[in-house]
Structure 1
């Protein structure tokens, strides 16, 4: 078995590829693909996702579009424990900290990324060596009207605070489904933003994240 050479042509083919790797460990997939396994994830946090992208044929890389642009599908791994409890918040995309004229929820990168998501749960318990962590069955999800409204409300409230120059006072506690957190390799990475007086300042980049309570509900519903 080898990683596919081309992206999937349909969502059915994408799900077939998911099924083909379900139950296998990250170590087994890395060995088959001749990819080196890092000792841990302290400096390679995105490694499991990159390995899975390779096996599913994702083509977007770090571009601001879905991982499978021809299908309009974004891939998100979901680390879980032995009880299928979600262990981490889910990164969606960077948050623009300088106002973008005309930007709405409908045209936002958050909504673009979350229009259709392939969720792929995998073992994330730190007691399990990285190479032994297994992949579960993936499932496709698109927001219901209620979920879209919830995400929209959080996005609009957070975006308004950024627009008003209040980015420094936004905490991870704000937002019911979607929240804002620093997103950078370390504290020395800075980007431009505006303060409440409209003056340009330097601050840590921020990212939009989905709360564990939100993704847990999706996981529970998918496997009821």
Structure 2
């Protein structure tokens, strides 16, 4: 049976667990928790993130709350490529399409999710086998005033475009972007544009790779 650790009692305990995973391979962590490695690469998507969640005691039922609701800490697993850089953008949260004309930055879902984040870099993405990938040094992070201002500016541009036009392009935003979440382009959810209620493609906020690279590179 797959094992999952109990929730940590404090942020300090969480960081002790996170540091204990550093320099361990995915195969080693999976073996300790009795998680079999997926044999089919197509079934491996999301496996590393789920494994680290289990090893740290994240709440699998957190939903739209942070992964450690009682601590207010979100967990983000970041794949690192052969050059030592992040290889893809990082999903933050879905966009409440029906509320885009009413949300404000200070109380937004995105700001709440990014208030406190534990970043777990995983090296070996795109060049090492799943089991050989290795967890790097964890970083616990809260946005600085400058980072918060950059996130807010992008958020206001993206939400403003959606409220006015009913759509947004992935090119908008310097440190983050909005992209479709649905695998099927025919999927729609209730949203708002300048004409009122409409059906829109579900979107999510994603941090751009250079932004997350600066975070995980912190000493």
TM-score (norm 1): 0.88
User: 1:172-211 maps to which residues of 2 (within 5 A)?
Assistant: 172-201=170-199, 203-211=200-208
| CA shift for structure 1 position 120 | 0.5
User: Could you list the runs of 4 or more consecutive aligned residues of structure 1 that deviate by over 4 angstroms after TM superposition?
Assistant: none
Structure 2 SS opposite 1:156: helix
The structural deviation recorded for 1:126 is: 1.6
Moved more, 31-40 or 143-152: 31-40
Mapping for residues 127-146 of structure 1, pairs under 5 Å? 127-146=127-146
Contact 1:87 1:124 in 2 (8 A): no
Q: How many residues align?
A: 218
Hey, what's the Cα distance between the residues in 1 that align with 2:82 and 2:143? 26
Equivalent residue for 1:97? 97
More displaced stretch, 61-70 vs 14-23: 61-70
Given that residues 18 and 56 in structure 2 are in contact (C-alpha distance below 8 angstroms), is that contact kept between their aligned partners in structure 1?
yes
Query: RMSD across aligned C-alpha pairs, in angstroms?
Result: 2.1
Check whether the contact 1:58–1:67 (CA below 8 A) recurs between aligned residues: yes
Q: Distance in 2 between matches of 1:35 and 1:23?
A: 19
CA contact (8 A) 2:100 2:162 kept: no
Rounded to whole Å, the distance in 2 between the matches of 1:131 and 1:209 is 26
2:107 matched to which residue of 1? 107
Match of 2:212 in 1: 215
TM-score normalised by the chain length of structure 2: 0.90
| Matched position secondary structure for 1:164 | helix
Equivalent residue, structure 2, for 1:84: 84
Summarize the Cα distance change of 1:199–1:112 in structure 2 as closer, same or farther, 3 Å threshold.
Answer: closer
- Name structure 2 gaps, 5 residues minimum: none
